[in-house]
Structure 1
Amino acid sequence: MEIPQIRMKTQYAQIQIQQTPGKQEISQPKAELTIKQPSADISIRTTPGKLDIDQTKAWEDMNLMHIFKRNKQFAQEGKQALMEGIARRVRQGNEWMRIENGGNPLASQAAQNAYDSMKSLGIKFIPSHFAVETNYQPANVDIQVQVNKPIIDANPQKVQHHYQPGRVETSLKQHADLEIDFVNITI
């Protein structure tokens, strides 16, 4: 027996795409930049230090003193020697007044007045320690600084942009096709 049969054969359509890529160029030129830095304004005020050295005592210890000071010292020593002499004479006169109490005032006073007193021995530093006096006032420094800001001048450059657009072309590479056949099949 023969049975009719339909046979279909299809072919799909195919699309063809051709692409040309776009090109883009971007460049940024450097900015024009000028910077000026003014110097800072500085003012310095100095009060100088002061050193006082007083060596009057050292000179006096070495017996090198001003004539007015020497005259004053001699006058003082003379006055003191006069007072000691008056006191010695009063004391010796009192001894003579009390001769009745015994003793020999003539011989003892003769021995006292005949010889000078013993000098003391010892090491003496000339001039004496710390005879030179110093007084120091340190210097004072006042510093004033006025900072000046930098002067910046910047001119940016425009961006350079070049663009070439891409292209896309489409076309039909293969058409769609449908074939239909009628065939009889024997069973």
Structure 2
Amino acid sequence: MDIPKLQLQTTRGQIGLTIQQPQQLIQQPKAELDLQQPQAKMTINTTQSLLSIDTTEARADLDLKSSRRRTVEVADYSIQEALNGLARVSQEGDNLMKIENGGNPIVEHAKRRGRQPYTSINIKFIPSQGNVKIDFQPAEVEINVEPQKVINNTKINKPIHQYTPGKVSVDLIQQPSLKIDWLI
């Protein structure tokens, strides 16, 4: 006996994928750099140094005296010599007044006046040490520095970003099919 048979014939479906890759473009422009550094403000204040040299006594040792000082010295010397002369004359008068006490006062007075006083020869260094007076006041320096802040006008540029998304296209390359047949 013949039994009918069912015969199935299938064709698979095939799909095709068309893929378009995504594209991404990223660019980073350089920053625009604008930095400025102003000069610091500086002030310098100085007081002058003071040097004083007093050579009055050293010049006097060299006999280079001012007219005022020389006048004072001559006046003092004259007064002293006048007083010495008065004392000498007064003493001689006293000696002559007391001639009765003995001795020969006139001869003694003549011997004293006729004798030159001895002078010693010495080496003298002029000007003598310590006669020059030196006074020095050093200068004072005051420095003030005021730093200035940096001026920063830097501009940051944003990145350039372009993105194209990808696409996937699905195509049916082969249609699926099913064929059913009866075989007797």
**TM-score between both structures, scaled by the size of structure 1:** 0.66
**Does residue 148 of structure 1 match 2:144?**
no
SS class of match (2:152)? strand
The answer for the alignment partner of 2:104 in structure 1 is: 104
The answer for the alignment partner of 1:134 in structure 2 is: 134
Which range moved further: 21-30 or 148-157? 21-30
* Cα 1:100–1:32 shift into 2, 3 Å: same
Percent identity, aligned pairs only? 39
Amino acid at match of 2:60: E
The answer for the alignment partner of 1:41 in structure 2 is: 41
**Does residue 125 of structure 1 match 2:125?**
yes
**TM-score between both structures, scaled by the size of structure 2:** 0.67
Amino acid at match of 1:45: N
The whole-number CA distance in structure 1 between the counterparts of 2:159 and 2:77 is: 105
Which range moved further: 24-33 or 125-134? 24-33
Matches within 5 A, 1:82-101: 82-101=82-101
Q: CA deviation at 1:87?
A: 1.4
SS class of match (2:144)? strand
Amino acid at match of 1:63: D
* Cα 1:106–1:162 shift into 2, 3 Å: same
Instruction: Write the deviation string for residues 123-171 of structure 1: whole angstroms up to 9, x where unpaired.
Output: 111222222222222222222222211101121222345668899xxxx
Instruction: Write the deviation string for residues 23-71 of structure 1: whole angstroms up to 9, x where unpaired.
Output: 8775544322111111111222222112122212222211122222222
The whole-number CA distance in structure 2 between the counterparts of 1:157 and 1:99 is: 131
The answer for the alignment partner of 2:176 in structure 1 is: none
SS class of match (1:154)? coil
The whole-number CA distance in structure 2 between the counterparts of 1:135 and 1:151 is: 51
Let me know the Cα RMSD of the aligned residues.
Answer: 2.9
The answer for the alignment partner of 1:70 in structure 2 is: 70
SS class of match (2:153)? strand
The answer for the alignment partner of 1:31 in structure 2 is: 31
- Which stretches in structure 2 are left out of the alignment for 5+ residues? 1-20, 168-184
Amino acid at match of 2:108: S
Count how many residue pairs are aligned between Structure 1 and Structure 2: 150
The whole-number CA distance in structure 2 between the counterparts of 1:160 and 1:81 is: 115
Q: Which has the higher strand share?
A: 1
Amino acid at match of 1:35: L
The whole-number CA distance in structure 1 between the counterparts of 2:22 and 2:100 is: 152
- Which stretches in structure 1 are left out of the alignment for 5+ residues? 1-20, 168-187
The whole-number CA distance in structure 2 between the counterparts of 1:149 and 1:105 is: 104
